[in-house]
Amino acid sequence: MSVNTDIKPSVSPEDAEKAEKIKEEANQCFRKQDYNKAIDLYTKAIELNPNVAVYYGNRSISYLKTECFGYALNDASKSIELDKTYLKGYYRRAGAHMSLGKFKLALRDYEAVTKAKPNDRDAKEKYTECNKIVRQMAFERAIRVDDTKKSIADSINLENMAIEDEYNGPKLEDGKVTLEFMQHLMKTYKEQGKLHRKYAYKILLDVKQLFMSQPSLVEITIPDDSKFTVCGDIHGQFYDLMNIFNLNGLPSPTNPYLFNGDFVDRGSFSVECIFTLFGFKLLYPEHFFMSRGNHESQTMNQMYGFEGEVKAKYTAQMSELFTEVYNWLPLAHCLNGRILVMHGGLFSRDDVTLEEIKEIDRNRQPPEEGLMCELLWSDPQPQVGRAPSKRGVGVQFGPDVTKKFLELNGLDYVIRSHEVKNEGYEVAHDGKCITVFSAPNYCDTMGNKGAFIVLKGKDMKPQYTTYEAVPHPNVKPMAYANSLLSLIC
C-alpha cells in the first residue's frame, strides 16, 4: 500500500470554520448563477484552507460555466490530487476535457468514476456516450481518404432536390439572393418556419465559393462620410440578431456590417442565424463581412449544439458541408489600415505582421497552437506580459503586448469578441483593446447586455450601443448539444 508523503499546510480551526462559511456563501452565488462572484468566494475559501477538495471542485464547475476551461482543468486535477475518492473532481475534469475536444482524456476520467461506482447509471451513461464519440472519431480517421480534393460540396446534386408544391417559404430568384428573399427569410424564421433544403444547400455552396476567393486577412475601406458596424458573438440567438437590425438598420451598401465570429452553438436558433448572415453576405459581398470564431469548428459544433441542430433541421451531410464552409471563413479584418478585428486576440510572439496573418493557410480545423489558433482563442489580461490561457487554448496577453503589436503594424487599436461582458463591451489596455459581445443574457443565464460598435470612416472612433435580450420561443439554449455537457450550461 502506497503512502501519501505530501504534507498539507496546517490550518487553524478558526480558518477552517471561516472557509466553510465562505464556501456556503459561494454556493448560494452559484445557485443564483453569479458565477464570477462564486469564483471569488471559493478562492477566498481556498486561501483560508487549501486542503479541501470540494472547494477546488466547486470552483472548477464555476470556471466551466464561465468557459475558463484551462482553469477548470487545473482545479479539478487539484481536487483529485487532494482526494482520490472525490468523484465530482473526475466529472469536472472530464467536462473540461470535453469542452476542449479532448475526448480520450475525458474518457479516462469517466472510466475512473464507473470503476469506483459500477452501479451508477449516470456515470455509465456518460462513459458510454464519451466512448461512442472516441470510437466514432477513430472510425472517421480510419476511413478518411488521402485525396484532399474530395469534398462534400462536390457531391451535392441540387437538380435532384425537388421543391414541393406546398412549400410557401422564401425562394431564390434565378438562384440568387435578393433583398425580397432576405426579408421573406427573416419573416419565416421569426414565425419558426424553415428554408427549403435546396435553397439552403445553394446558399452554402455559393458562400463557400465567395469565402474561398478572400484572403485570411480582409482589408476594408470605410469612406469618411460612411458608418460601419462591428458585432461580436451571436451564438444562435436569432431573435437578438433581429433586434440588432431593428436598432441599427438592415445591412445594405450604405449600412455595412462585420460579424466577428461565433455565429452558432449554445443558442438553439443557430441555423436561422447562420443562413441569415450567409444570405446577407451573398446579397452584399462588398458590404457584409464575417470572421471565423473558435465555434466555427467541428469539435465545438459537435459538443455545443450546432451539429445536432443541423441534423435535426436538415441532414448530417449538410453538417459536414458547414464544416467545409467554415474552414474558408476569413480570420481577421483590417479597417482603413487602422483597426484590426479578430475573434480571439493577439499572439505568443511579438513580431507578427499583418502580412503574415494574410498568408495563413486557414482551410482546416483550428490547430492547437500558432497564429490561427491564437486569433480564434486568445484573451487580453490586465497584467503586462503573457500568461497561459484560462481557456486552455491560445494565450493571455497584456497591454504591453498590444502596444508593441500596434506599433509594429501601424494600427490604432484592436477589436475582438470571444468573452461575455456585463455591458456587452469592455475597453482595456489604455483604450487599445476593445471587446464586443452581441449575445445578451448569454445562454439565457448570464444576465449580460449585448452591444455593437459603430465607427465613422472619418475618425474611426468607436461608438457603443447596448441592449437587453428580447423574448424568444420556448426552446432552451443547448437543446441540441451533446448530453455530456448538461453539467456545463
Average confidence score pLDDT of the chain: 94
Q: How confident is the model at residue 179 (pLDDT cuts 50, 70, 90)?
A: very high
| CA dist., res. 39 & res. 45, Å (int) | 10
pLDDT reported for residue 6: 61
DSSP 486: G
For the ranges 115-129, 172-186, 275-289, the lowest mean pLDDT is seen at 115-129
Residue 270: closest CA among 235, 307, 308: 235
Catalytic residue among 235, 295, 343, 472: 295
pLDDT reported for residue 199: 98
pLDDT reported for residue 2: 47
Average pLDDT for 297-308: 93
- Percent of the chain predicted with pLDDT > 70: 96
Residue 229: closest CA among 203, 248, 246: 248
Which residues, listed in sequence order, are joined to residue 334 by a DSSP beta bridge?
A: 219, 340
Residue 254 has pLDDT above 80, yes or no: yes
- Percent of the chain predicted with pLDDT > 90: 85
CB atoms within 10 A of CB 303: 24
The H-assigned helical ranges of 191-289 are 197-212, 238-248, 270-283
DSSP 365: S
pLDDT reported for residue 122: 84
SS3 state of residue 236: coil
Residue 336 and residue 222 in contact, taking contact as beta carbons nearer than 8 Å: yes
- Between these two residues, 482 and 297, which has the higher pLDDT value? 297
Active site residue 333: no
Pairing of strands 386-388, 395-397: antiparallel
Average pLDDT for 422-433: 98
Average pLDDT for 188-212: 98
- Between these two residues, 33 and 241, which has the higher pLDDT value? 241
pLDDT reported for residue 1: 44
Identity of the amino acid at 243: N
Tracing cell 443574457 back to the chain, one arrives at: 441
Write out the DSSP string of 149-217. T--HHHH--GGG-PPPTT--S---BTTB--HHHHHHHHHHHHTT----HHHHHHHHHHHHHHHHTS-SE
Give the model confidence (pLDDT) of 65-98 as tens digits.
898 999 999 999 999 999 999 999 999 999 999 8
- Between these two residues, 488 and 122, which has the higher pLDDT value? 122
Which residues, listed in sequence order, are joined to residue 173 by a DSSP beta bridge?
A: 176
Residue 236 and residue 268 in contact, taking contact as beta carbons nearer than 8 Å: yes
Average pLDDT for 467-485: 92
Residue 489 has pLDDT above 60, yes or no: no
Give the model confidence (pLDDT) of 357-395 as tens digits.
999 999 999 999 999 999 999 999 999 999 999 999 999
| CA dist., res. 136 & res. 144, Å (int) | 12
Residue 454: closest CA among 430, 431, 425: 425
Residue 418 and residue 435 in contact, taking contact as beta carbons nearer than 8 Å: yes
Give the model confidence (pLDDT) of 104-130 as tens digits.
999 999 999 999 999 988 888 889 989
Residue 189 has pLDDT above 50, yes or no: yes
